[in-house]
Amino acid sequence: ADESADGSVEEFVSEKDSLKTEWFGRAEGKNVVFITLESVQNFVIDTEVKGEPVTPFLNELKDDSLYFSNLYDQASQGKSSDAEFMVDTGLYPLDGGSVFVRRPHNTFNGLPELLKDYQTTVFHGNVRTFWNREQMYDSLGYDQFISKQDYEINKENQINYGIEDKSFFRQSIPYMKQLNEPYMTKFITLTNHFPFLLDEKDRSLPLADTSEPVVNRYLTTVRYLDESIRQLFQSLKEEGMYQDTMFVLFGDHYGISKEYEDGVHELLDQPDTALSHTTNQRVPLLIHIPGMEGKTIDTLGGQIDIRSTVLHLLGKQTENYMSFSHNLLAGEKEEFVAFRDGDFITPSYLFQDGICSKTDSSQPVNASHCKEGREKAREKLKLSDHIIKGDLLRFK
Ligand code: GP9
C-alpha cells in the first residue's frame, strides 16, 4: 500500500454516489466561477442587526440558488488553503500545517486536471507566496494566477492583508474578459479577515452592540463582502458574462473563534452549548445557475463534498476518481462529516471534545453510540493521510 493506490484505498475512496439525479449536467459546458467567502459562517445569512440584514445580497441570491444550509467547516491549521484543497481534491487537510505548504509537489487530480477543456485562473489580492499558493496552483494545474502584483493597490483601496474586495472584483473584470470559454475561475476574497478592519466610509451596516467588539466589526466586514459580490454580479451582467456561468460561493472557514463566540450567542439569542458551537461552524454554500429554480438543501455535509457536487452539476461522472467527496445532491448521500481532529457529526450523533451527544438536543449519551462514527472518521482521515503522505495519486 505504500507504493501504489492499492485496492482497499481505491474501494473506500472512489466517488461512487454519482448516480444521475435531476441535477446531473444542469451546468454542462458553462463557465464556473468559484468565490471563496473569507471567514463567512452560515449564521450571518438571514440575520439582522438593528433591523438591517447582514447579507442582503446573499439572502436574495440563495432564493435563486441551490443553497446548502447544513454544510460544515472542515478546515484545519491550513485555514483558507485547507478549504481550497478540499474543494479541489476531495481529500482531507493534514493534521498539522497546510498541504499547500507541505506537499505542493504531489499529484492531486485537482479540478483543473478534471476540467481539461477549461481555462483555469485564480484571482487573489494577496502575495503569490502566501500559503505557498503559486507553487501549489502549478501543481494542481491552474493555467494562471492573478495576484497582488497584478492589481493597482494604493492607500485608498488597501486594508488588512491586501486589496479591498470591491476594488479586487472591479480590477479583475478586464482580466476575466480575456479568458477563453469555457473558463473556471476562483476568486479568493480578503477583506472579511480577522481582525475585521474597515474604513468608516465603507461601513454601511450599523454596528451591533454585542459585548464582543470583534463580532460587531465582523458583521460590518461581512456586509462589505456581500456588497462587493452584488457589485461583481452587476458588472458581469453588464458585460454579458453572467448568463453562461455557474457560480459557486462558499465560506472557507470560521471567522469567530470560540474566544469571541459569546458575541454570536448574544446576537442570535442562543444558549452557550456544545450544539450551538457546532452549528455555528456551518459555512454557507450557494450554487447559482442563472435561470434555474432555487432550492434549500439541508443534507448534512462538509466542504469536502463541494467538489463532487460541482462535478455532478457539470455532468461529469466521478466514479473513477479517488476522493472523499460525496455529491450533496445525491439522494443516498452518506450524512457524515469528519473533522480533522477525529470529531464527527451525523444527523443522530455528535462527537466533540471527547463527549458523545445527540445532535438534535446536545444531550450527552453513552459513548458506545459514537463508537462506529469515531472509527469511520479515523479510517477516512487515515486513508486520506496515506494518499497524501505516500503521494499515491501519482499511480492513478
Ligand atoms: C490570505 C487569505 C487568508 O491570502 O487567503 O488566509 P487565512 O488566514 O484565512 O487562511
**Whether the predicted pLDDT of 203 surpasses 60:** yes
Ligand 1, from 80, 86, 191: best to mutate by most atoms within 8 Å of Cβ? 80
User: How far, in Å, from the CA of 80 to the mean position of ligand 1?
Assistant: 5
User: 349 alpha carbon to ligand 1 midpoint, in Å?
Assistant: 32
Best CA proximity match to 264, nearest among 344, 187, 210: 210
Cα(112) to centroid(ligand 1), Å: 21
Residue 320 pLDDT: 78
Radius of gyration of the chain (CA): 20
The predicted-structure confidence for 275-328, as pLDDT tens digits, reads as follows 899 999 999 999 999 999 999 999 999 999 999 999 999 999 877 788 999 999
Q: Which atom of ligand 1 is nearest to the CA of 78?
A: 10
* Residue whose CA is at the smallest distance from ligand 1 atom 5: 80
Helix, strand, coil percent values for the chain (each to nearest 5):
35, 15, 45
**At 331, is the pLDDT very low, low, confident or very high (cuts 50, 70, 90)?**
confident
Between strands 66-68 and 285-288, the pairing is antiparallel
Mean pLDDT calculated for residue range 362-390:
96
The residues assigned a catalytic role are: 80
Question: Between 159 and 85, where is the model more confident?
Answer: 85
Separation CA 100–CA 50 (nearest Å): 41
CA–CA separation, 265 and 268 (whole Å): 5
What is the mean pLDDT of the segment spanning 196-216?
96
Residue identifier of the C-alpha nearest atom 4 of ligand 1:
126
Residues with CB under 6 A from ligand 1: 79-80, 126, 130, 161, 188, 190, 193
Cβ-proximal residues to 2 (8 Å cutoff; 6+ apart), any chain: 390
201 CB neighbour count, 10 Å cutoff = 7
pLDDT at 170 exceeding the cut of 90: yes
Averaged pLDDT for residues 216-230: 98
> What pLDDT sits at residue 14?
54
Cell digits for 204? 454601511
Ligand 1 atom closest to the CA of 133, numbered from 1:
4
* 200, three cell numbers: 468608516
Report which ligand 1 atom has the smallest distance to the Cα of 190.
2
Average pLDDT of the chain, as a whole number: 94
Look at the chain and count its residues. 396
CA distance 367 to 353: 12
Question: What residues form the annotated binding site for Mn(2+)?
Answer: 38, 252-253
Residues 6+ away with beta carbon under 8 Å from 213: none
Q: Report the nearest atom of ligand 1 relative to the CA of 253.
A: 9
- Considering only residues 327 and 16, tell me which one the structure prediction assigns the higher pLDDT: 327
Is there a contact between 100 and 88 (Cβ–Cβ < 8 Å)?
no
Binding residues: 38, 193, 252-253
Q: How far is the CA of 24 from the centre of ligand 1 (A)?
A: 33
C-beta of residue 161 within 8 angstroms of C-beta of residue 11: no
Specify whether the CB–CB gap between 303 and 73 falls below 8 A: yes
ipTM score of complex: 0.97
Mean pLDDT of 161-167: 94
C-alpha distance from residue 262 to each of 48, 216, 267, 277 (Å): 17, 11, 9, 10
Closest ligand 1 atom to the C-alpha of 193?
A: 9
Going by alpha carbons, the residue nearest to atom 3 of ligand 1 is 80
The predicted model scores a pTM of: 0.96
* CA–CA distances in Å: residue 221 to residues 153, 233, 276, 279, 366: 19, 19, 23, 21, 42
Q: Under a CB-based contact definition with an 8 Å cutoff, are residues 121 and 147 in contact?
A: no
Residue with CA at minimum distance from ligand 1 atom 7: 80
Burial class (CB in 10 A: 0-12, 13-18, 19+), 164: buried
Question: CA quadruple 168, 173, 175, 181: dihedral positive or negative?
Answer: positive
Closest CA to 7 of 361, 395, 266: 395
Confidence at residue 4, expressed as pLDDT on a 0 to 100 scale: 47
Ligand 1 center from residue 122 Cα (angstroms): 14
Q: Say which residues have a Cβ less than 8 Å from residue 22's Cβ, sequence separation at least 6.
A: none
69-123 pLDDT, tens digit per residue, is 999 999 999 999 999 999 999 999 999 999 999 999 999 999 999 999 999 999 9
Question: How many angstroms separate the alpha carbon of residue 22 from the centre of ligand 1?
Answer: 36
- Residues of each annotated binding site for substrate: 193
Tell me the CB-side half-sphere exposure of residue 319, using CA atoms within 13 A.
Answer: 5
pLDDT computed for residue 317 by the predictor: 82
Where does the pLDDT of residue 13 fall: very low under 50, low under 70, confident under 90, or very high at 90 and above?
low
Query: Residue 3's pLDDT band (boundaries 50, 70, 90)?
Result: very low
